[in-house]
């Protein structure tokens, strides 16, 4: 790292410290956006399992609080540990250089203590819901912190796929809080989340290719190039097409809506091969993926009311 980069990073860090509050830094540390988005999938798994069981939703709000509270804490704790692990490469990327682990607002020992404490309390809540929920919570922490952050992220081009495991576990936790014996619907939600993540994150990686290259992170666009990344994105999107059939209990209306969403995403992916501006197209794919997941999971909740 050149002296110029060190000076630049120091200036950027100082500027970040002056423009953020302690609360903002804390929310950045636990990646509150990721926490919130995962809460939607936890709730979806919980609510769908509840609708398919003889249990009453209002009579089991304690299970919901255990599932949501526990999941939120282990995700926040894992995110803090991820920031701690990545504090050496985060200064290189504009998207991450203002994180509090980079600016020094939170020191390493405090972040480690916070992350482990959140995970411990979160696991206590999940095990209070059910043993299965607690075990899936541990699996999620291990897959994100160890398999992704500590192992695959810096070594393998398949890091995004490995990281998708942890991102697909939250709906299983929500389901397991209600029904420890996971049904077909739970695995359908897992597969949707697992398959959705590679095209979503590849789109982000395309937009940040040079930053990942500078940080020596072997993301697919860095190692294989944009064309190969587009092929992979289309392949993952096509794998989503049969999954609505696994949620046939939600009715024809849901399957039609899900299929329309899949067709739209596939069409967008195919257009990428003729895109004149790859980064603009990648941005569109990224935005579509966010809308896709929001619409799909909200529709699952709505359609489940009519089971």
**Domain definitions of the chain by residue range:** 1-182, 183-307
Return the percentage of the chain with pLDDT > 70, whole number. 94
pLDDT at residue 8 greater than cutoff 70: no
- Residue 307: predicted pLDDT: 85
pTM of the model: 0.91
pLDDT at 19: 73
**pLDDT by residue (tens digit) across 182-195?**
999 999 999 999 99
Q: Among 194, 223, 190, which residue's Cα sits nearest to residue 206?
A: 223
pLDDT tens column, 135-194: 999 999 999 999 999 999 999 999 999 999 999 999 999 999 999 999 999 999 999 999
- The domain 1-182 is classified under which CATH number: 3.40.50.720, 3.40.190.10, 1.10.357.140, 3.20.20.70? 1.10.357.140
Q: What percent of the chain has pLDDT over 90?
A: 91
Residue 6 reports pLDDT greater than 70:
no
What are 202-228's pLDDT values in tens digits?
999 999 999 999 999 999 999 999 999
Helices (H), the chain: 3-19, 22-29, 32-51, 61-85, 100-103, 108-129, 131-141, 159-168, 170-178, 184-207, 209-214, 220-224, 226-239, 252-271, 278-304
Mean pLDDT estimate for the chain: 93
pLDDT digits (tens, 9 = 90+) for 271-290: 999 999 999 999 999 999 99
Per the CB < 8 A criterion, the answer to whether 83 and 111 are in contact is yes
């Amino acid at each position: 790292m050149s002296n110029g980069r060190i000076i630049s990073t120091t200036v950027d860090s100082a500027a970040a410290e002056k423009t953020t509050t302690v609360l903002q830094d804390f929310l950045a540390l636990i990646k509150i956006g990721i926490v919130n988005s995962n809460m939607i999938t936890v709730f979806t798994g919980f609510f769908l399992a509840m609708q398919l069981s003889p249990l009453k939703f209002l009579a089991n709000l304690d299970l919901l609080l255990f599932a949501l509270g526990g999941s939120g804490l282990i995700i926040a704790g894992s995110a803090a540990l991820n920031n701690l692990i990545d504090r050496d490469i985060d200064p290189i990327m504009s998207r991450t250089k203002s994180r509090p682990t980079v600016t020094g607002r939170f020191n390493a020992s405090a972040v480690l203590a916070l992350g482990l404490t959140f995970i411990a309390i979160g696991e206590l809540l999940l095990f209070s819901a059910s043993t299965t929920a607690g075990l899936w919570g541990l699996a999620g922490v291990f897959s994100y912190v160890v398999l992704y952050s500590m192992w695959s992220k810096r070594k393998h081009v398949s890091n995004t796929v490995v990281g998708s495991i942890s991102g697909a576990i939250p709906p299983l936790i929500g389901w397991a809080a209600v029904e420890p014996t996971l049904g077909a619907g739970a695995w359908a939600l897992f597969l949707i989340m697992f398959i959705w993540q590679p095209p979503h994150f590849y789109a982000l990686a395309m937009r940040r290719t040079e930053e990942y290259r500078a940080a020596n992170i072997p993301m697919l666009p860095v190692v294989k190039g944009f064309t190969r990344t587009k092929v992979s994105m289309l392949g993952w999107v096509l794998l989503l097409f049969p999954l609505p059939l696994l949620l046939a209990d939600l009715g024809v209306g849901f399957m039609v809506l899900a299929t329309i969403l899949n067709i739209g995403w596939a069409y967008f992916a195919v257009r990428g091969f003729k895109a004149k501006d790859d980064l603009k197209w990648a941005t569109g794919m990224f935005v579509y993926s966010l809308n896709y997941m929001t619409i799909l999971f909200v529709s699952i909740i709505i359609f489940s009311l009519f089971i």
